[in-house]
Amino acid sequence: MSDSASIEKSDDTVPQRILAWSKSRPLWQRDALRRIVLNGYPDEEAFEELLALCKKEHGDQTVTLAAKPLSKDHLPVDPGAGESISLSGIANVSGVNQLATGQTLNFEESGLTIVYGQNGTGKSGYTRILKKACRSRHAGEIIPDVYSVSPTRTAKADLKITRTSGAAETVAWEDEGEAAEMLSAITVFDRDAASVHVQKKNEVWFRPFGLDIPDDLAGVCQEIKARLTTEKETLEQKRNSVFVNPIWSSRSALGKALSSLRHDTDIAALTPKTAFSDADEARLIKLQADLAQDPAVAAQAQRDYAAQLDQLESYLKRIEQALNSEAIQALHATKKGADDMRMAANTAAHDAFSGLALEGVGETVWRTLWESARAYSQVAKSAGTAFPPSSGDICVLCHQEIDEPTAARMLGFEDFIKEDTETKAAEAERVFKEAEQKFRAVVVHVNKVSAAYRSLKAGNFALARQVLRFIALTRRVQVQTLARLSGEDVPTPLALPESVAEPVNTEAAHTRAYAASLNDASGGEAREAVLNEQANLQDRKQSHELLDIAKTEIARLSELKRIEDCLRDTATTAITRLGNEIADNLITPRMRDRFQQEIVALAGNRVRVEVVRSGGKFGSPQYEVKLYANPKAKVHDVLSEGEQTCVALASYLTELANASHTSALVFDDPVSSLDHRWRSKVAKRLAKEAGVRQVIVFTHDMIFVNDLAQLASERNTPTALAHLSRGQDVVGIVNKDLPWTASSIPDRIDKIEKEARAAKRLFEENNDEGYKTAVSSLYSRLRATWERALEDIVFANVVVRHRDYINTKDLKRVTALEEGDVQTFQNGFKKCCDFVDAHDPSRGHDPEPPEPSEVMADIKSLKDWSEGLRTKMKRVS
């Protein structure tokens, strides 16, 4: 589907087509169109802003500038069929260059207004106001008075307008504000309004009114493309050289990610989940050292390390088995059993020996003494002595003879010892003693496995700390258990910590696998895994530096992606289609015949040209100016500057002819630097246009002023004249009519009459010196007017001073001159010379000035003479 498929059929003007088309374009291009429509081709500041808006549209969040797209409020309006807008005046101007305040510049609403001003008198200031207010392209910037200490910053003016209906209103215009819609119906023409270009390839092209908008947009796209391309090249050169010679490994996960960075890579996904630890550092050092060695030697060292870990595992299992909770519970149970049996034996002893004088017979201490006596009796003699001794035997302890009662008691003691309760108690105590000694004999200390511990500490520091903690806590459990067995109170006894034998076993298995990988000379998967592990550790260690590089590169890639997206926006294909559609459907059909009429009216038949649709620049259609007689001729050798102006004006008037209204046209120096042929052609065409709509012309060309005024007079077109002048510190001082040198004979006579009435008041006030000076000035102007009358009336403007041509068609009017006319001229001119200080008078010649009545009579003489001669000349023509 074409870009214009959605354009309403009612959109039958170039600006409306462009507006409808623009709604499918990027915002920055719509903003560019607004600038082009309002101000013409963007300047440097505008390009910077458009580039920023383009980037913003593609994600640059640093840009705060907001786009202002083209809207119907920016387009010239059509007031509607039958209704037009005329400009009545400009007043209350402030903040515009050096234009004077308090001035009012009025315009003829239904005809021609000529505003004359020499260079530097303020014409450009007034036309800039109109260009801005009327939404002209190439309006330019309005600046305040640069010479003022405190200039008014905002340009303002009141624009008085009148509608066809007669309704009048005043628009308070302010620069940078919202211009009133109806003002855009007024158009301003200058050389930028319809471009004519002489190309380097010696062809002459021009852009019809409106078609230069897509042309300018294409130019904007090309300029933005050039700037983006420069930025892209700069960004491409900023790629870190580390990506050519990486400092990371292609084996590591981080290295692989760095080697394939994209603009949308998530930096968080690259960031290691854990920090590089001391254990990681130790592992890396080990890997680097091992991989630097002979594989067989490194593998054997790892196998030796695995054997040490096996010994450590066995030791840990032994102490765990000897000191685990089940073993401790069993030891406590043995202790309790022995204690219970002893309590039972003690009870039996108490029951048996309670009648004896000594306490404690049968208890432990006593039993110890009894068994010692038995042992002694067995070694007292070589053959041994029976125990206990019988009556009459000698006691092995006291060496006294044993009597019958003593022998009986001792026999009773022996029977007690031999009883089952005591035997069981003794046995239980023996078993507990052995168990306690075995428990106590377990050596729990890291020194038992010092070699294995040191290797583990070097290879796996975290596991080594676990082993050390396990051994320390196990030793503490052993001490607490023995203390409790001894009857000490231990408030919070520890339990045996979680076993570390299995992690040690796993470490040993990994070490053997690692040994195998080190010895994998064929480069198999095992060795590859080790190399990958080393690479990952190495890049994790420098991850902070690598991530900084990655962030910078991602930012660069993001900006490159943004620029590439922006570059796609600068394609001019869609603009080409728009330009072709406008040219084919709107411009060419309407323009061809009307343009031919306009160019003939302006350029005549001396050089006949036609406009031919041809190629274009960046797809924007162009129209080539060719000669009818010789299409292959080099037009630039034939088409003069005047003809180029005529082509521009013809295309401008051709486009305006398609409008349904006849609102005011404003021309800013339309014939600047043209010779008389083209000046007169343009004057004739503008005078004709002033018959159907309001035409306002600002010019500094006095001959063009006279041509326009005369042509308008011949057509009976209402004409207003004004001129601008300079003050001491300001310009743009508005004066009614033209300056004295450009005034017509009737205007001059009117001014002289006013001066005569002012002089009369001085005469009545008896101000002799003042009156004399005023009369001298008056006759000086009167003499000059007699001279101008000779040029304008007597010779019918056939020959005009400083004009570069002779108007031969009015030569026959000169035949109306009679001798009486010549005599009247001579008399009037001579009298003026008598009262003009053209030369220094002699001291004796000081004539009295004529009285006011005589002065008025002399003025009337000129007036009557000029009117009478004109009447006769009209009869001749």
| Domain count for the chain | 3
pLDDT of residue 747: 85
Residue whose token pair is 């919070």:
492
Q: Which residues pair with 521 in a beta bridge?
A: none
pLDDT at 536: 92
354 in the same domain as 319: no
Assess if residue 319 is contained within a domain.
yes
Name the H helices within 660-818.
676-689, 702-714, 745-764, 768-789
Tell whether 431 and 447 lie within a shared domain: no
Query: Confidence band (pLDDT; 50, 70, 90) for 4?
Result: very low
> For residues 469 and 497, is the Cβ–Cβ distance under 8 A?
yes
Summarize the confidence of residues 428-438 as an average pLDDT: 89
**What is the pLDDT, as a whole number, of residue 47?**
95
CA distance 699 to 721: 12
Q: Is the pLDDT of residue 202 over 50?
A: no
Which of 577-581, 696-700, 764-768 is least confident? 577-581
Residue type at 817?
Answer: L
* pLDDT band, very low/low/confident/very high, at 876 (cuts 50, 70, 90): confident
Out of 100-114, 309-323, 578-592, pick the least confident: 578-592
Query: Of 600 and 730, which is predicted with more confidence?
Result: 730
To which H or E segment does residue 197 belong? strand 196-198
511 falls within a domain: yes
User: Is pLDDT of 201 > 60?
Assistant: no
Residue 261 lies in a domain: no
User: What's the mean pLDDT in 214-237?
Assistant: 93
pLDDT in the model for residue 8: 38
What is the b/e burial string over 729-756, where b = at least 16 CB atoms within 10 angstroms of the residue's CB?
ebbbbbeebbeeebbbbebbbebbbebb
Q: Does one domain contain both 355 and 320?
A: no
At CA 442, angle to CA 437 and CA 443, rounded to 5?
Answer: 130
Residues 413 and 500 in one domain: no
* Alpha-carbon dihedral 315, 316, 322, 325, rounded to 10 degrees: 180
- Residue 307: left if φ>0, alpha if ψ -120 to 50, beta else—which one? alpha
The closest of 542, 609, 619, 538 to 580, measured between CA atoms, is 619
> Is residue 419 over pLDDT 60?
yes
Look at residues 608, 844, 707, 666 and name the one whose alpha carbon lies nearest to residue 186.
666
Report the distance separating Cα 403 and Cα 618, nearest Å. 147
For residue 584, pLDDT over 90 is answered with no
Residue 514 structure tokens = 């690692």
Residue positions counted in the chain: 877
User: What does the pLDDT average to over 312-333?
Assistant: 89
In which band, very low, low, confident or very high, does the pLDDT at 222 lie, cut at 50, 70 and 90? Answer: very high
Task: Please tell me which residue, 348 or 25, carries the higher pLDDT value.
Answer: 25
Same domain, yes or no: 809 and 750: yes
Residue 531 inside a domain? The answer is: yes
Residue 870 in any domain: the answer is: yes
When mean pLDDT is compared across 214-218, 507-511, 523-527, 862-866, the lowest value belongs to 523-527
Least confident of 329-333, 367-371, 379-383, 420-424: 379-383
463 shares a domain with 433: no
Confidence of residue 629 (pLDDT cuts 50, 70, 90): low
Q: What is the pLDDT of residues 692-734, one digit of tens each?
A: 899 999 998 888 888 898 889 888 999 999 999 988 888 999 9
User: Is residue 623 over pLDDT 50?
Assistant: yes
Least-confidence region, from 16-30, 376-390, 681-695: 376-390
Structure confidence at residue 413 (pLDDT): 72
The strand pairing partners of 626, in sequence order, are 610
Give the C-alpha separation, 29 to 20, whole Å: 13
* 294 and 368 belong to one structural domain: no
Q: In the 8-state DSSP scheme, what is residue 152?
A: -
What proportion of the chain, given as a percentage, has pLDDT over 90?
25
φ, ψ dihedrals at 450, nearest 5°: -60, -40
Quote the mean pLDDT of the chain.
Answer: 82
Rounded-to-integer distance, Cα 329 and Cα 814, Å: 152
Q: Print burial letters for 243-254: b (CB count within 10 Å at least 16), e (below 16).
A: eeeeebbebbeb
- Which of 11, 466, 533 is closest to 284 using CA atoms? 533
Torsion angle of alpha carbons 591, 592, 593, 594, nearest 10°?
A: 30
Q: Is 788 within 8 Å of 741 (Cβ atoms)?
A: no
Reported as a single tens digit per residue, the pLDDT across 491-539 is 888 888 888 999 999 999 988 888 888 776 555 777 788 888 889 999 9
Single residue among 480, 505, 536 that ends a domain in this structure: 536
367 and 410 part of one domain: yes
Asked if residue 517 lies in contact with residue 530, where contact means CB atoms within 8 angstroms, the answer is yes
Average pLDDT of the residues in 423-446: 87
159-173 confidence digits (pLDDT tens): 999 988 788 899 998
| pLDDT given for residue 203 in this prediction | 47
So what's the pLDDT on residue 209? Answer: 57
**Residue 625 has what pLDDT?**
67
Q: What is the DSSP letter of 792?
A: I
Which residues lie across from 620 on neighbouring strands? 617
**Statement: residue 378 has pLDDT above 90:** no
C-alpha distances in Å from residue 548, one per residue of 60, 559, 710: 21, 17, 80
Q: Is residue 776 a contact partner of residue 835, using CB atoms and an 8 Å limit? A: yes
The pLDDT value recorded for residue 197 is 46
> Does a structural domain hold residue 560?
no
Write the pLDDT tens digit of every residue in 837-855.
655 555 555 668 889 999 8
Say which residue the tokens 């990486």 belong to.
246
pLDDT tens-digit map of 780-803: 889 988 988 888 888 877 777 766
DSSP 813: G
Domain that holds residue 477: 278-324+442-536
110 neighbors 127 (Cβ within 8 angstroms): no
Find, among 560, 559, 546, the residue nearest to 243 by Cα: 546
Q: 57: pLDDT confidence band, cut at 50, 70 and 90?
A: very high
Of 536, 569, 597, the one marking the end of a domain is 536
Do 541 and 281 touch, CB atoms closer than 8 A? yes
Q: Is the peptide bond before 388 cis (omega within 30 degrees of 0)?
A: yes
Task: Determine how many CB atoms are found less than 10 A away from the CB of residue 149.
Answer: 5
**481 and 522 belong to one structural domain:** yes
In this structure, the number of other CB atoms found within 10 A of the CB of residue 392 comes to: 10
In a domain, 863, yes or no: yes
Domain boundary among 505, 536, 567: 536
| Predicted confidence band of residue 371 (pLDDT cuts 50, 70, 90) | confident
Q: How far is it, in rounded angstroms, from Cα 305 to Cα 291?
A: 16
Four-residue CA torsion sign, 117, 119, 123, 127 = positive
Element (H, E) at 300: helix 295-323
- pLDDT for 45: 93
Please give the angle made by the CA atoms of 571, 574 and 580, to the nearest 5 degrees. 125
Residue 765, pLDDT > 80, answer yes
Burial of 814 (0-12, 13-18, 19+ CB in 10 A): middle
pLDDT at residue 617, rounded to an integer = 57
Mean pLDDT of 352-376: 69
The angle subtended at Cα 92 by Cα 89 and Cα 97, nearest 5°, is 100
500 and 382 fall within a common domain: no
Given this model, what pLDDT does residue 283 score?
82
Residues 447, 451: Cα–Cα separation, whole Å: 8
The b-or-e profile of 394-409 (16+ CB within 10 A means b, else e) is ebbeeeeebeeebbee
Q: Is residue 295 part of a domain?
A: yes
Looking at the chain, the whole-number percentage of residues with pLDDT higher than 70 is: 83
Three-class secondary structure of residue 816 per DSSP: helix
Residues 304 and 338 in one domain: no
The region of weakest confidence among 104-113, 195-204, 623-632, 859-868 is 195-204
Sign of CA dihedral 788, 791, 797, 801: negative
Strand partners, 189: 667
Instruction: Identify the burial level of 627 via C-beta atoms within 10 angstroms of its C-beta, where 0-12 means exposed, 13-18 middle and 19 or more buried.
Output: middle
Mean pLDDT of 562-587: 86
More confident residue, 523 or 73: 73
The single-letter DSSP state of residue 183 is G
Q: What is the mean pLDDT of residues 275-296?
A: 84
**Which of 198-207, 320-329, 592-601 is the least confident region?**
198-207
How many Cβ atoms from other residues are within 10 Å of residue 838's Cβ? 9
CA distance 720 to 114: 6
CA distances from 707 to 487, 677, 877 (A): 138, 12, 19
Q: Which of 583, 611, 594 is nearest to 14 (CA)?
A: 583
723 contacts 739 by C-beta, under 8 angstroms: yes
For residues 801 and 755, membership in a common domain is answered with yes
